[in-house]
Structure 1
Amino acid sequence: MSMSFELSIDVSEPYDFNTQSLSKIQQNPWVKNQWPLVYFIQNEVMAEAYVGESTNAASRIKNHLANPVKAAVFNKISIIGSDKFNKSATLDIESNLIQYIAAEGTYKLQNGNSGLVNHNYYQQDLYKDLFKEIWKKLLDKKVVSKSLKEIENSELFKYSPYKSLNEDQYLSVLEILEGLTQNNSNSIFVRGSAGTGKTVVATYLLKLLATNILNTDVEEFNDDELREVNYIRNFQLKYPNAKIGLVVAMSSLRESLQQVFKQVPGLKPSMVISPSETFKSKEKYDLLIVDEAHRLRQYKNISWMGAFRQNNQKLGLGDNGNELDWIMANSRNQIFFYDEPQSVKPSDIAGIHFTKLLEDQGTIKLQLNSQMRVQGGENYIKFIDDLLNINREDKTVYRSANYELFYFDSLADLYTELGKKEQHYELCRMVAGYSWPWQSKNNKTAIDIEIDNLSFQWNQTDKDWVNSPNAFKEIGCIHTTQGYDLNYTGVIFGKEIDYNKNTDQIEIDPKQYFDINGKKGIASPADLKSYIINIYKTILYRGIKGSFVYACNPNLATYLKKHIPLFEKEPALRIIPFNQVKPYVNAVPLLDITAAAGNFSDLQIHADFEWVELPFNITPQKGYFVCKVVGESMNKRIPNGAYCLFRQDGGGSRNGKIVLIQSTAIQDADFGSGYTVKEYHSKKVVTDEGWQHNAISLKPLSDDLSYEAIELTEDELTDFKVVGVFERVLT
């Protein structure tokens, strides 16, 4: 049984944040009644802010005013209240506001990041809509300027140390902190498959340990949060002015994280370093946090052999030395985040090199389990692993209500569908195995990949390619996507990977694999196969919302289609020749909204329109007509460019229905003047002559909160007309 409630939220006008205004703040109804609420303290000029929540806001605000730092910096406070708030909801909304405001960029937050944890609670999904309403009000008041979608697609949001952790991650953080402060262990080893949030935990920890704990207000902290703060205090006492670094071997991800750290108070880009940069410090690092430790390198198949050898020589090591040795030698404590199945090149340190570390009784070993990236969850991760290792016991086709996985027989169709997702969500990219030479690296006009009469170049930058301007027109590879999140991924299985139906095995053709450093020196075909399968698994784990798959080799395509649902194009609407039209028997009129003035009342004159056949499961009825709906203002129900079935309005209540409206008072960004498709809401008054409209609100249903309702007052309703009521999307 689904439950809902009417969303209502109150964001107050800013109060002055000083002791003289305290009595006025205390008269705010939410403060006065000690209702659970969220508050936002700010200094617009200094672009500083603080987000908090409380069930006793009067006392909490007094404490803030008694804090000399906050009293000196902040000058305004806004109260966010709702009669639907409870303690769990305000904690969740506070956490979300911290995440989004930190990544939005208007303000620098003075909040620490301790205790940011997601908790499940009753009707949590409904409060997500309430948060969207809060954000819309903040946009309206110009407190913030970016939509939620813009923020969610930003690297600052994805890698922010203000991200809320799940229970699995938070418990691991507490164990790590305990290990750093109370145990004798110097090394902590955290395993986690793709999407379990290893990078998020790494940045969270670094921010946590770099924050001056003296400024942390613990008044309403729970036991775990107090424990967390005590661990941090002990670490900072043990290592005053601790020297901490985040080691990232992959240059593209490293540069992205440096850009993130540049925007986070208390962090610096110089904290994000390569393994070789651990030698630059005169003193040992107190702590090195190593993200993607499976990508640490050995003296093999790298382009900078001389510098690598010199670093080994500094430690008295021969050519068998590696970047793991450097980190161990140049730091007092280490935290490794590791996932061996994401090792994709022979230059990566083999798992055996970590054996000594793992066999050490003092090494703390932890595991991250919860899937945080892929909306298909752990079931999808296991499905892909079993699929590519020919290990599926369940032979049925993969289905998920939460994740879009499709196989495409045509790359052209895949690219078209991915383009639709790119328009809607952004951050949708094509990624392929290294089955084509990179000719455009030296010849910028060269075409690298040609399939289905489509021509592409490989990624034209190896630095932050997923966010580069032309990324959607190019094809990326493992080296430009590993460590990044995408909304949808188009995955091309190249000519180097095939399926042998006789042996029921994946096979690799080394001649069709063009990553020179990815195969040089590999004597064992099984090792090369393992690397290439890891590559495809890793890129299939990039898509948050879905993955679209295409295979160049027919045998592999046949195998994949047995397990992955086949994409089926929606048939285009068929226009029936005029001499075959039987109005409302075999066809309904197709109307162009922008050219429809005056025609809606004359739908029976069938010669004026093109007529289209409806899908077989819809019976034509008099009054039905089809229109193309453009724009994103209704994208929760109607995709941009969709052809939709409407029926002529027959009167009666339209409240809450999606309608096509005609009025000279309407100026719609998507439809132009005169027309709009929106959700209808009216306010009526009773007169001696019956009821009449007092005002009408036409509301968008969009993920893009920049769309606003169209409000029409009584004097704007003279030529207002409901032309049609939405029935369904056709294509």
Structure 2
Amino acid sequence: MTASDGEWLEDRVSDDSGRLFTATSRDAFQKFLASRLSGSSGAFAADTLLRSPVSPSKKLMDLAAGEVRDREQFVLLDQQQTAYSQVMRAVQRAREANTKQVVIVTGGPGSGKSVIALSLLGELSRLHYPVVHATGARAFTLTLRKIAGARAPRVQALFKYFNNFGGARKNDLDVVICDEAHRIRETSADRFTRAELRTGRPQVEELIDVARVPVFLLDEHQAVRPGEIGTVHAIEAAAADLGVDSVRVDLDGQFRAGGSAAYDNWVKRLLGLEEGGPVPWDEQDAPYRLALAESPSELEQRLRQQIEAGHGARMTAGFCWQWSEPASDGLVLDVQIGDWHRPWNVRGEKRVGDAPPSQHWATDPHGFGQVGCVYTAQGFEYDWNGVIFGDDLVWRDGKWVSRPDRSADKQVIRGASPEEFHRLIRHVYKVLLTRGMMGTVLYSTDSETQDLFRSLV
């Protein structure tokens, strides 16, 4: 702006953290910058930053213990306690005998992997072991940062991403807790990575190297994008290549779907992720509720009834519709099925009208009314779950047929072979089907697939 255009801003008081410069005061702006910025190169400072340790300070550990361990009283059950104790023993041995061990914890949705992760983070922080939590899921990490760091913002620094450790020193940490480890990628490099940092080194090796006890918590059936290679075999092989011992703990419990391992098994058989094929759902066999809607409006109405009864609920769908940027008057109604039109959840980190940012879609009450996709729903849970199967996965002649041409997920379409797409799309619906703690309502846009559901539910 010119000075005349900006006269209304001139009344604002300048202080140590704010200055006003207009198009007619460029010389003053240059002088101000010269008084604040060093005249020497910033290369030394940049190199110092890149070589600095990633380990948190003891003061930060105290804050984390207060915010995570003392604030959240988690109760670990059965194999959860076994996994927790395994990690704590490994950490103690690493300190006393200068050893290194990889701990792998596997379990289905709701089996308590993240409860274990946060319990470990809180207790290890209390004991002043350098520890950080890492994931490959943006929405999940941002939500954890918000919850754990609400009263102590510095605690947010303990929640990192898998690609944050490329330049870290070996054993810089005592423990790195890799939650949602099925999302580990081949390398940490992306399109923003500087050329000199593109080492090509496997991401899993970076994560193993950075800590004396790397902990990997994963569900192999939740990898949903090309390049996500977090499997037990890949982690064990990487550990062996690096000469590091590994141990595995399997979580048999099912704590999300009403404690129903039967529902998790039903989903895996439905999608061909376990042998035997689809089977009818026996509601007498488990406390979990499974229902079929004959239209998306009926699905939404059933979920709204649950909200009115005091429960939480969300709608999700396969990524079969374009995802538009918000219009000037709000979210675009991208998900269109007949005369039923709803928007996807917000794409970015800012609220659009009443609609929450993407990372809070699953936890903000205003998230209902938008349709969530797998990238927004993964890692979260809610009481009631509505799942719309799109035309990207349909039932034909007794088997599933995947159709990449009906998908709007460009990253998956471009990066996956037909065989890989068939595997990933079934993982997508596995994730969507296992978000609800009390029940799930199903609907398919494809008539033959809907007939399958009618025969089973």
When normalised by structure 1's length, the TM-score is 0.48
2:212 corresponds in structure 1 to: 332
CA-CA distance at 1:522 after TM superposition = 1.6
1:344 equivalent to 2:224? Answer yes
Q: Deviations over 1:363-409 (max 9, x none)?
A: 11111111111105111100110011184468444314511101111
CA distance in 2, matches of 1:393, 1:336: 30
Q: After TM superposition, list the pairs within 5 Å mapping 1:372-383 onto structure 2.
A: 372-375=255-258, 377-383=260-266
- SS at 1:492 equivalent: strand
CA distance in 2, matches of 1:452, 1:269: 44
CA distance in 1, matches of 2:278, 2:84: 36
1:519 equivalent to 2:420? Answer no
- SS at 2:75 equivalent: coil
- SS at 1:506 equivalent: strand
1:496 equivalent to 2:377? Answer no
Task: Go from structure 1 to structure 2 and tell me whether the alpha carbon gap of 1:250 and 1:178 turns closer, same or farther (over 3 Å shift).
Answer: same
Letter in 2 for 1:172: A
Quick one: which of 88, 96, 113 aligns to 1:177? Answer: 88
Q: Deviations over 1:475-495 (max 9, x none)?
A: 000000100011111000001
2:35 corresponds in structure 1 to: none
**Cα RMSD (Å) of the superposition?**
2.9
Q: Deviations over 1:693-724 (max 9, x none)?
A: xxxxxxxxxxxxxxxxxxxxxxxxxxxxxxxx
| Higher relative contact order, chain-length normalized (CA < 8 Å, sep 6+) | 2
Quick one: which of 387, 397, 411 aligns to 2:270? Answer: 387
Quick one: which of 165, 183, 187 aligns to 1:278? Answer: 165
Q: After TM superposition, list the pairs within 5 Å mapping 1:169-568 onto structure 2.
A: 169-182=80-93, 184-212=99-127, 241-263=128-150, 268-279=155-166, 284-299=172-187, 304-307=190-193, 310-311=196-197, 313=198, 317-318=199-200, 321-349=201-229, 351=231, 353-357=234-238, 362-375=245-258, 377-389=260-272, 391-392=275-276, 395-400=279-284, 401-440=286-325, 444=330, 446-460=332-346, 461-468=357-364, 470-501=366-397, 504-523=398-417, 525-564=418-457
CA contact (8 A) 1:299 1:308 kept: no
The number of aligned residues is 373
CA contact (8 A) 1:486 1:542 kept: yes
Letter in 2 for 1:510: P
2:38 corresponds in structure 1 to: none
Task: Go from structure 1 to structure 2 and tell me whether the alpha carbon gap of 1:211 and 1:298 turns closer, same or farther (over 3 Å shift).
Answer: same
CA contact (8 A) 1:258 1:272 kept: yes
**Aligned residues with identical type, % of pairs:** 21
Q: Deviations over 1:131-152 (max 9, x none)?
A: xxxxxxxxxxxxxxxxxxxxxx
CA-CA distance at 1:561 after TM superposition = 1.6
Letter in 1 for 2:318: G
Structure (1 or 2) with the greater strand fraction: 1
CA distance in 2, matches of 1:412, 1:292: 33
Q: Deviations over 1:63-82 (max 9, x none)?
A: xxxxxxxxxxxxxxxxxxxx
- SS at 1:528 equivalent: helix
CA-CA distance at 1:326 after TM superposition = 2.4
CA contact (8 A) 1:440 1:447 kept: no
When normalised by structure 2's length, the TM-score is 0.75
- SS at 1:203 equivalent: helix
CA-CA distance at 1:546 after TM superposition = 0.4
CA distance in 2, matches of 1:445, 1:354: 41
Task: Go from structure 1 to structure 2 and tell me whether the alpha carbon gap of 1:265 and 1:207 turns closer, same or farther (over 3 Å shift).
Answer: farther
CA contact (8 A) 1:161 1:200 kept: no
CA contact (8 A) 2:173 2:210 kept: yes
- SS at 2:264 equivalent: helix
- SS at 1:182 equivalent: helix
- SS at 1:405 equivalent: strand
CA contact (8 A) 1:207 1:266 kept: no
Task: Go from structure 1 to structure 2 and tell me whether the alpha carbon gap of 1:538 and 1:370 turns closer, same or farther (over 3 Å shift).
Answer: same
CA distance in 1, matches of 2:65, 2:183: 33
Structure 2 unaligned segments of length 5 or more: list them: 1-63, 347-356
Rg (Cα) greater in structure: 1
1:164 equivalent to 2:75? Answer yes
- SS at 1:402 equivalent: coil
Q: Deviations over 1:555-584 (max 9, x none)?
A: 1111122112xxxxxxxxxxxxxxxxxxxx
CA contact (8 A) 1:447 1:456 kept: yes
CA contact (8 A) 1:498 1:556 kept: yes
- SS at 1:439 equivalent: coil
Structure (1 or 2) with the greater helix fraction: 2
Structure 1 unaligned segments of length 5 or more: list them: 1-107, 115-159, 213-240, 565-731
- SS at 2:234 equivalent: helix
CA distance in 2, matches of 1:357, 1:364: 13
- SS at 1:409 equivalent: coil
Letter in 2 for 1:535: V
CA contact (8 A) 2:269 2:279 kept: no
- SS at 2:305 equivalent: helix
Task: Go from structure 1 to structure 2 and tell me whether the alpha carbon gap of 1:310 and 1:290 turns closer, same or farther (over 3 Å shift).
Answer: farther
Task: Go from structure 1 to structure 2 and tell me whether the alpha carbon gap of 1:209 and 1:411 turns closer, same or farther (over 3 Å shift).
Answer: same
